[in-house]
Structure 1
Amino acid sequence: MKKNLGTIDRIIRILFAVVVSILFFTNVVTGTLGVILLIVGGVLLATSFMNFCPLYAVLGINSCPIKK
């Protein structure tokens, strides 16, 4: 897997996952919407730690700076 996530993209994904988790576990967001957001947050967190997003690969997006 070739890295395709930049630092800012990773930080945004991690922050989103943390905020969604806090909202879910403090019962601010509940029900089906809460579970869906928690799953999306988990996927974003996993992709940020792997530095690879399969959707970015399919769409040809690369936010990782090119090293020269």
Structure 2
Amino acid sequence: MKVTIEADKCVAAGQCVLIAPEVFDQREEDGIVVLLEERPAPHLHDAVRESAAVCPAAAIHLAES
């Protein structure tokens, strides 16, 4: 799995960080998503998929590989 984000679409809701803190973080100054792990370990895939599904801005994109 490869994760990409569109930071310009992010609305700083923070759901991704709550669900998968090993993969996502937020910038201190404005709460915009920061990708910590472009290729997360397999045990994190379900959480990453959930993060993408609940993102209100659809700013998280997944490529299964």
User: Considering the TM-score relative to the shorter chain, is it more than 0.5?
Assistant: no
As a proportion of its length, which structure holds more strand? 2
Q: TM-score range by the shorter chain?
A: 0.3 to 0.5
**TM-score by structure 1 length?**
0.32
**TM-score by structure 2 length?**
0.33
Q: Is the radius of gyration larger for structure 1 or structure 2? A: 1
Instruction: Tell me which of the two structures has the higher relative contact order, counting C-alpha pairs closer than 8 angstroms and 6 or more residues apart.
Output: 1
